[in-house]
Amino acid sequence: MIVQALQAQNFRQFLHLNIQLIPANGVILLVGGNETGKSAIGEAIVFALFGLSDRVGAKTLHQLIRWGQEEAIVQLAFQINDKALLIERTISTAGQMSVVLWDRSTGQVIADAIQQVQTVLQNLLGYGHKVFNQTFYWSQRLTKSSTADLEAIQAMAGVQVYQQVHDLIENDTRTALSKSEQLEKTLQEQAAQLKQRKVDPLRLKWLQETQAELSNSQEQHYALAEQIGEETQHYERRYPLYHQIKRQVSSLHWGAGLLLLLMLILLGGSLSSGFTLWVESLWTGASKLMIWIALLLGISAAVAVFFAYRLANEEMTPLRSKVGLLAQRLYTGYRMMSVSLHELLHPATADWLREKQIAPESADMLMDMQSLAKWSNRVENYAIEPTDLRHLADGLVVNLQQRQQMTAGLLSRANEDIYREQTKAQEAQAIQQQQLERQTVLGAAQTQLQVQIMAQGLLNRAHHQAAVRFNGAINHSTRAYIEAMTGGEYQGVELADDLQLYVIQESNQSRTPFKTLKAEVQREIAMALRLSLAKALALRHGTNQHSLFWDEALLSFTEPLLSQALAHLNTLAHQSTTQLWVSLPQIPENGKDLVLLDCRPDDNVLDIRPIRLGTA
C-alpha cells in the first residue's frame, strides 16, 4: 500500500489538511515543531484505514474532532498494486462513524459499511490494525519508551505475548513458591506451639472430677455447719420440754408403784386370817370394802402406767428421734474434722492437692472431738445441758466453716487450672483447625506450583519453536538491512530460547545482548527489522510497495548520525519501493534526495506539496 494523497477537515488541530502528489518511495520528512500536526498526519492515516487511534480509545474517538466542530472527515487516497482506492471516514461528536471505500479508476463504491470496509481492506492489505501498528506504524508512545525497541522486535517476532505470559507465569511461580514456603514455615511454627502446650485430654477430665469433689466437700461442710447450728437451737427449745415430760412419766410411774403397793398391803391384810377365813369373810363388810379399795388402787395404778406409757411413746420418743439427728450430725462432724482433708477426699483429688503442694493439716489444726464422740449418746437422751452443747457445737461449726472456706479456696484454684487447661485445649484446637486450613491451602499452592512448572515447560517449548521460526525467517532477509543501518558493524539478530535478543557482530560472529547496546544502535536495528518485516508482509500479499509512518523515531539521533541514518533509510526505501514517512523537529544537515513536507500550518490550515531537497 502506497499513500498518494491525504485530506482532512476538523481533524485534531487542523481546520483543513491537504497533502497531494506524495512520492511512491523514499523518505518523506515531516518537519515542524511541537504541536504542528506531524503526529496528527500519522493519526489521520491510521484513522482513515482502521477507524482507530493510537492516542484515544475506541469509545472516545470523538476527541479527534477539532474543538468547537461537529464532525471530522478524513480522506485517504492510496494504491495497492494496480488498484487506486479512496477511503473517506467521518466521526461525529456523538461518536457516530461512517465510512465509504471507492474505486478511483471507476468512481464506484466498493463498500460503505464499517464491517464491510474492514473486511475488504483486510483482504486487500493482508493485515489488520494490530499488525499495522506493530510493523508499519511507529507512534510517539514507542519513541518515548526506553524499552520500545526490544518490545517492538518481540512483537514483530510474534513472541511478545510469550514474554508477557512468561513474566506472568514466572511471577505466579515466585508467588506460589513464596506462599508454599511461608505456609510450611507457619505449619512448623504451629507444630512447635502444639508441642509446647502438651495438651493432655485426661488431665482436664481429672481436674473436672477434682473440681466436682471439692465443690461437693464445700457444700457438705457448709450444709453440716448450718444444720448443726439449727439443730442445736432446736435442742435448746426441746430440752426443758423433754425433761418436763420425763418428770411426768416418772411421776406416773412412781404413783402407779405406790398404788400397787397399797393394793398389795390391803390384800395382804385380808389374807392374814388365812385363806379359808378370808374366803368365808370375803363378802363381810370390812373385808369387802378392803377388796374394793384394793381393786380401785390397782385400776388407778394401771391408768397411771397407761398414761406414762402414752407420754413416753407419743411425747418423749419423737423428741428423742429428733435429737438423734443432731447426735448423728455431731458425730459426722467429729469424723470429718478429726482427719485431714487429704484423707477425707478421694485419692485422685488428694493427688491434685499434693501437685499444688498443699500440705495436710497438722494434728493441732484438727479439732479434738473425742468428748463430742462420747457425748453423742447423751445428746440422744437430752443428758447434756444446752449451754454445754452450745459451746461444743459452736466449736464444731467454726471448724466446719474454716474447712469450708479452705475448700472454697482450693476450688477456686481448681477452677483456674480447669480454665487454663480448657484455654490450652481451645488454643490447641484452634491451631489444629488452622493447620488443617493451611494444609489445604498448602496443597492447593503446591498443586498450583506444579501447574506453573508444567506451564513453564510448555511455554519454554513454545519459546524455542517461536525463536526457531523467527531466526529462520530473518537470517537472510534482514542481514542487508542491519548491515546497512549499522554501517556493517552488525549483520543479524538472534532470538534465544529464553526470548532474550542478541545481535551478531560482523567481525567475529560474537553474540551481544541487544539490551546492552547503545540506544541509537538499538533503534537502528529495530528500524532495519521493521523495514525488512514490512517488505516481507507486502511481498507475501503480492505487492512490492508498502508505506511506513515513523513518528519521531529518530528524535534521539544527533548529527552526523541523523543524516547518516536518513541516508541509509532513503537508500533502502528506494531499493524496496518503500514509502517511509519520518517526522523530525527540524531539517537534517544533509538531507540530499529526501522529500520534505513543511508542517507549519497557517491558521491551522496545512495545504502542502512535497519538496525534494537538494544538496545541503
Distance CA 15, CA 35 (A): 14
**Selection from 573, 562, 496 nearest residue 153 by Cα:** 496
d(CA 398, CA 228) in angstroms, rounded, equals: 11
Look at the block and give the residue holding cell 567481525: 507
**pLDDT tens digit sequence for 540-570:** 778 878 899 998 888 888 889 889 899 989 9
Per-residue confidence band for 262, with pLDDT thresholds at 50, 70 and 90: confident
CA distance 533 to 6: 25
The pLDDT-based confidence of 616 (bands split at 50, 70, 90) is very low
% pLDDT > 90, the chain: 22
Tens of pLDDT, residue by residue over 308-335, are: 888 888 888 888 888 888 888 888 888 8
pLDDT at 222 over 50: yes
pLDDT tens per residue, range 487-529: 888 888 888 877 788 888 877 778 888 888 888 888 888 888 8
Which residues lie below 8 Å from residue 492, measured CB to CB, with a gap of 6+?
474, 475, 478, 479, 482, 503, 504
Quote the longest CA-to-CA distance of the chain: 199
Examine the pLDDT at 432 and tell me if it is beyond 80.
Answer: yes
Q: Which of 533, 531, 612 is nearest to 572 (CA)?
A: 531
Q: For residue 496, what pLDDT is reported?
A: 81
The answer to whether the beta carbons of residues 249 and 320 sit under 8 Å apart is no
Encode pLDDT of 80-130 as tens digits.
988 999 999 999 999 999 999 999 999 999 999 999 999 999 988 888 888
Output the CA torsion 517→518→519→525 (10° steps). Answer: -50
- Which set of grid coordinates corresponds to residue 487? 554501517
Mean per-residue pLDDT of the chain: 84
Extended beta strands in 12-136, E state: 14-19, 26-31, 71-80, 83-92, 97-103, 108-111
Q: What is the pLDDT of residues 518-547, one digit of tens each?
A: 888 888 888 888 888 888 878 877 887 889
Residue 209 to residue 215: CA distance in whole angstroms: 10
For residues 178-195, average pLDDT: 82
Strand 511-513 and strand 501-505: the pairing is antiparallel
C-alpha 36: how far from chain center: 55
For 331-352, the pLDDT digits (tens) are 888 888 878 888 888 888 889 9
Would you say residue 154 has pLDDT above 60?
A: yes
Q: In terms of pTM, does the model score above 0.85?
A: no
Condensed to tens digits (0 to 9), the pLDDT of residues 396-424 reads: 888 888 888 989 999 999 999 988 888 88
Average pLDDT over residues 13-17: 92
Instruction: Give me the domains of the chain, ranges plus CATH numbers.
Output: 2-151+520-612 (3.40.50.300), 206-430 (no CATH)
Rounded-to-integer distance, Cα 390 and Cα 217, Å: 24
How is residue 110 written as a grid cell?
A: 466498493
Other Cβ atoms within 10 Å of 340 Cβ, number: 18
CA distance 389 to 228: 11
